[in-house]
Structure 1
Amino acid sequence: MHRSHPFRFGRLLTGSALLLYSLGAHAFDFKTVGARPVILYDAPSLKGARLYVAPSGMPVEIVLGYGDWVKVRDAGGDVAWTEAKGLSARRNVIVRSAAAKVRATPDEAAPVLMTADKNVLLELVDPDAGPWVRVRHRDGISGYVKTSDVWGL
């Protein structure tokens, strides 16, 4: 019968706890496809298979960096690689509910300025996310939308 040394088990347990803590403490890193569309690949190389083209302004979550390449996740959950130089620090979010109401203030009783359909891009004006975030539509309408109605935070 083989018995594990208690010290090794303790180190394993401590290491696992630290790993879980660091993963939980890591904030999501989002960027936006820059002024030009980017090609998403199945590997971090121009020789990789081309999966699809991401349009300008599309928000992506950075999953991993590898040299000049980043692994990204889109709003649908698909994961692919692209060159980091094609992404912008400017932040957009995408509406994920059927009809997200953009309100004048961060309050359910505030007047509705516009209703944004699913998959509409909104510029993130204030990156501090709470239950509401401040956004701007490309038509210039600026207001607040519920965090739960958008993806990219």
Structure 2
Amino acid sequence: MPKAMRGICLFAALALCAHAAQALEFRTAAKHGVVLYEAPSEKGRKLFTLSRATPLEVLVEQGDWLRVRDHKGSIAWIKKKDASAQRHLQVIKAGSVHREASAKSAVVFKTEPDLLLEMLENTKTGWLKVKHRDGLTGFVRIEEIWGL
């Protein structure tokens, strides 16, 4: 392979690796009744409102606004001040929260879709330590949640 072609291939490979290494950024609705807009302006059409702690994937930051996506794929704009850095997760399929990071450990509580959980720790083993709003804590499988 000619030297120039190797250089182009190496550059392309590095660019793809850099793109894949970018982590997703998530925020949560900071309060109940946060309004999401069609455009980054309060004059934009109001699309829907969110409950406190609903996780949102940040797509773009523009001044005092964030363009975000929810777990269903809806895209809208939110005022930056209405988004919190505190991490919450949304259950996407029914499952269980376990006492330990193991499916064989005792079940602390059952989950249903749309339940919101506070993320306490990413164990990097496929399990996340979470907290229910009632104070119960345990571990959930990453494939059962959205917002990580």
TM-score w.r.t. length of structure 2: 0.88
Q: 1:27-76: per-residue Cα shift (whole Å, max 9, x none)?
A: 01111100243111111111211111122111101111111111101010
1:86 is matched with 82
Which ranges in structure 1 are unaligned for 5 or more consecutive residues? Answer: 1-7
Range with bigger deviation, 32-41 or 110-119: 32-41
Q: CA RMSD in A?
A: 2.2
* Corresponding residue for residue 25 of structure 2: 29
- What is the one-letter code of the residue matched to 2:29? V
Identify the range of structure 1 (15-24 vs 61-70) with the bigger mean alpha-carbon deviation.
Answer: 15-24
Structure 1 residues 68, 127: closer, same or farther in 2, change over 3 A? farther
Q: Contact (CA 8 Å) 2:66, 2:77: kept in 1 or not?
A: yes
Structure 1 residues 36 and 119: CA distance shift in structure 2, 3 A: closer
Contact 2:34 2:50 in 1 (8 A): yes
Answer yes or no: is 1:101 the counterpart of 2:101: no
Provide the residue aligned with 2:40 in structure 1: 44
Which structure has the bigger radius of gyration? 1
The question of 1:149 aligning with 2:136 is answered: no
Q: Which runs of 5+ in 2 are unaligned?
A: none
The amino acid that maps onto 2:83 is L
TM-score for the superposition, normalised by structure 1 = 0.85
Aligned to 2:67: 71
2: CA distance, partners of 1:50 / 1:32: 18
The sequence identity of aligned pairs, in percent, is 34
Q: Does 1:112 align with 2:107?
A: yes
